[in-house]
Structure 1
Amino acid sequence: MAARVRRTPDEARRQILEAAAGLLAAGGPAAVQVRAVAAAVGVSDAAVNHHFGTREQLLSALLRFGGAKLKSQLRAALDEWGDDAAADPAGLVRVLAALYADGYAELALALHRSGWRDTGSGLLDEVVDRLYTRARANGAATGRTPPSREAVQLTVAALHQAVATEPLFGDEFRRSVGLDTTARDHLLGWWTETLRTTMAGHDPSTRFGGRGHGGG
């Protein structure tokens, strides 16, 4: 008989959530069942219930686990920039997209349909802060007028919404404008370019020079 593995409560919770995340990525929310999670970790069903209560509470904890993982990965992507003035935001876009492609989009929708609501906020506050700081520094170095903080917030919010709903509705939205499934490959590139454009600000000498800009 195999020796029983002793885990601290925190370690047990982490292993259960990691196992649940693996099942989510492989089979979506329906695959995240207490019995399957327990088997993956090597514990009893009762042990999973002891740490998380009901299956719905486990799924809610899994969604928060995904959010914490996302924040950690985004911070790592931002830290890779260092002081490089030419640092590219493509890594941020890829990190966001990868999380939702691993089943978290379906999980969030399933929980929302069951009545669960996320009362937290600020998941991407640090991203906005770092992008805005970088845009202001670039503006000071190049003479361009940096974007407002709200412009950065709106761009990041729209990006987040797009990549979160992509696994659920992306193909349908593209078909609505006559695009086929191959256009999916261009989506992240388009969002990366949009984020670059926002961060670049604008040349103050041309701000009111073009048609449609409200110049007198």
Structure 2
Amino acid sequence: MPSRDRTATRRRRSAAETRSAILEAAERRLLGGGPEAIRLQEIAAAAGISHPAILHHFGSREGLVEAMVMRGIAKLQGQFLEGWPSAKEPDIEGVLDRFYEVASRRGIARMLAWLILSGQGNRTMTPGVFKPAAERMHAGRVRRALNQGRRPPELEETLFAATHLFILVLGDSLFGPSVRRAIGLGSGADMTRRYRRWLSKVVERMESRRPANS
């Protein structure tokens, strides 16, 4: 009976629901064991489907990994678009926290690094994939500068700033604890929080030092 129930559940799933179940099972394995834990047979068992079903939806392990990263990138951008502008504009600390939540806790930074180092990053980091978030950031920066009587930034400057933030978050998600431990700061959760608070204040100070209108 349990076997028939599982089969019936599989039949009731739409293609989108099946893909989502596979991605969620893969994400749980990623969080538990890193990219090496992405094994199709075990993901299929966790999602309650057959191994060939994963191949049907994603083509290969690499296709599944790519889909996971694309889903993570969409979440990352969604978090940014929801949080900027906020009541505190620009909400540097809030934006960094949201970036870290997706990049670190969901393992997206590790997966993206794996794809890039294996030469497959161009399929996920496509031209302009983060541009909507950067444009939202730019609108907030322009509005804040005008309200404070400062010269508004050029779009290119904001794109540079967004690039800097993204690299900071990915780098810290991948190497931050190890580097802090090697420097002598320690690598615990409290030190990580303190470093990220400090980083948000540094970024805010950089933002506030833009020249005023003449």
| Cα deviations by residue, 1:8-63 (Å, 9 ceiling, x for unpaired) | 11221122112211221222111221122112211111111111121121111111
- Equivalences for residues 115-194 of structure 1 within 5 A: 115-119=119-123, 120-174=126-180, 177-181=183-187, 183-194=191-202
Q: How far apart in 2 are the matches of 1:135 and 1:167? A: 25
| Contact kept? 2:90, 2:141, Cα under 8 Å | no
Deviates more, 1:22-31 or 1:119-128: 119-128
1:169 is displaced (CA, Å) by 1.9
- 5+ unaligned residues in a row in structure 2: which ranges? none
Q: Does residue 96 of the first structure (1) align with residue 107 of the second (2)?
A: no
Q: How far apart in 2 are the matches of 1:125 and 1:199? A: 20
Which residue, out of 17, 21, 34, partners 2:27? 21
Question: TM-score of the superposition, structure 1-length normalised?
Answer: 0.81
SS of the residue 2:107 aligns to: helix
Which residue is 1:32 aligned to? Answer: 38
- Equivalences for residues 13-92 of structure 1 within 5 A: 13-78=19-84, 81=86, 84=87, 86=89, 88-92=91-95
Q: How far apart in 2 are the matches of 1:42 and 1:22? A: 14
Q: How many residues are paired up?
A: 203
Q: Does residue 195 of the first structure (1) align with residue 206 of the second (2)?
A: no
Richer in helix (by share): 2
| Cα deviations by residue, 1:94-133 (Å, 9 ceiling, x for unpaired) | 1111122121222122223333132403333222212221
Counterpart residue type for residue 33 of structure 1: R
Identity across the alignment (%): 29
SS of the residue 2:120 aligns to: coil
User: How has the CA–CA distance of structure 1 residues 186 and 122 changed in structure 2, closer, same or farther, with 3 Å as cutoff?
Assistant: farther
1:134 is displaced (CA, Å) by 1.7
- 5+ unaligned residues in a row in structure 1: which ranges? 208-216
Q: Which has the larger radius of gyration?
A: 1
Question: TM-score of the superposition, structure 2-length normalised?
Answer: 0.81
| Contact kept? 1:138, 1:200, Cα under 8 Å | no
Which residue, out of 85, 90, 113, partners 1:109? 113
Give the root-mean-square deviation of aligned CA atoms. Answer: 2.5
User: How has the CA–CA distance of structure 1 residues 87 and 113 changed in structure 2, closer, same or farther, with 3 Å as cutoff?
Assistant: closer
| Contact kept? 2:145, 2:151, Cα under 8 Å | yes
Counterpart residue type for residue 200 of structure 1: S
**Of the two structures, which has the highest relative contact order with CA contacts closer than 8 Å and spacing of 6 or more?**
1
1:137 is displaced (CA, Å) by 1.6
1:71 is displaced (CA, Å) by 1.6
| Contact kept? 1:146, 1:200, Cα under 8 Å | no
Counterpart residue type for residue 154 of structure 2: S
